[in-house]
Structure 1
Amino acid sequence: MSNLKPEVSNSDHVQGNDAATITIVEFGDYQCPFCGDAHPIIKEIEDTFGDQIKFVFRNFPLQESHQYAFSAAAAAEAAALQGKFWEMHDALYENQYRLDENLFEELAETVGLDMEKFQQDFTSEAVKEKVDNDFESGVRSGVNGTPSFYVNGTKFDGDAAALHQMLEESTE
């Protein structure tokens, strides 16, 4: 059984209720089609279960197969430094079908970022390190593809739809 390493901390991007009984961590890649498919289901899970869950996203860019995955993760992390991680996260998945190197600045403008700061942060060492650390945590946690989900620290074997189903059964 694979467990999440390290545990969820202040360095993570968290949405939802801090006091929630269920913590879901997704290791995702913004260019991965399966992550793209999972995105609306995760939104649905958040809508359905509300305060019962806390959702955490960690970057796991599969650079060998996805040319823009690392840059997309860097764009989300650069947005995070301006308090707009989730806006950029959602925008990247919603525009996944047209992901290329020109999209990041367009989305940064759309979500209302300070463009000069975004451009500096996008290529900064701190942003690169955050993405690398997330990736490393995935490797240590036994992630072997994206998306990978962990529920309360334990790897969940299944996709987002199966996760939704499991949550429905466990919260009835």
Structure 2
Amino acid sequence: MSLKPSVSNADHTQGNLDAGLVIVEYGDYQCPYCGEAYPVLKELMKEFGDQIRFVFRNFPLSEMHQYAKPAALAAEAAGLQGKFWKMHDAIYENQQFLNENLLLKLAEKLDLNISQFKADIQKQALTEKIDTDFESGVISGVNGTPSFFINGNKFNGGAEDLFQLVRENTINSTKSFLK
């Protein structure tokens, strides 16, 4: 399966925007497997961030995880204040305590404008962004979280496998490896 739509400016991106290696994660902030993948991905970016463009798309499995969508909304609202990745990290680093009170505490800890944050999490545009991410995942063949895509192609492995792939292959051989 291939990624639809392609990575764009609408996506949350970190690392090298011009990298030859683009990794997309569809994640759920309450998913324990995403929680386990998080430190691996942080290490991957620490080691290879200058060679990778990393993208996160929301895929909240709301029926199983009651705080997945509120957490996604909190991250998106923080993004409106330029702190998407800080909130993203804070949520995963405190995943075991995830609830709506925690999200507000994290917003305060990140020095967000709280009245703006509270207003923003109610915005229909943020709900639509999360829904658009989710729908793109469904169209791309995502059936669980985390799901990864490398240069637009579904990667059938976990974060550890992804790290191994990147570590074993230089960027040039990764490009040819994925053809």
Q: Tell me the equivalent position of 1:117.
A: 116
Matched residue count: 171
- Measured after TM superposition, the shift of residue 104 of structure 1 is 1.0
Q: Find runs of 4+ consecutive structure 1 residues off by over 6 angstroms.
A: none
Residue number in structure 1 paired with 2:14: 15
Aligned equivalent of 2:160: 161
Task: Map 1:21-36 to 2 at 5 A.
Answer: 21-36=20-35
Q: For residue 127 of structure 1, what is the amino acid of its counterpart?
A: L
Report how far residue 10 of structure 1 moved.
0.6
Distance in 2 between the 1:80 and 1:90 partners? 12
Instruction: State yes or no: 1:75 paired with 2:74.
Output: yes
**TM-score between both structures, scaled by the size of structure 2:** 0.94
Amino acid at match of 2:132: N
TM-score by length of 1: 0.98
Shift of 1:50: 2.4
% identical aligned pairs: 61
Q: Distance in 1 between matches of 2:24 and 2:56?
A: 6
Which secondary structure does the structure 1 equivalent of 2:143 belong to? coil
Opposite residue 119 of structure 1, the aligned amino acid is K
> How far, CA to CA, are the matches of 1:119 and 1:50 in structure 2?
32
How far is the alpha carbon of 1:168 from its aligned partner? 1.2
- State how 1:15-94 maps to structure 2 within 5 Å: 15-94=14-93
Following superposition, the deviation at residue 133 of structure 1 comes to 0.6
Query: What are structure 1's unaligned runs of at least 5 residues?
Result: none
Once residues 107 and 4 of structure 2 are traced to their aligned partners in structure 1, the CA distance between those partners, rounded to angstroms, is 31
> How far did 1:40 drift?
0.4
C-alpha separation between the residues in 1 aligned to 2:49 and 2:27? Answer: 21
Q: Does 1:98 align with 2:100?
A: no
Partners of 1:73 and 1:50 in 2: CA distance: 23
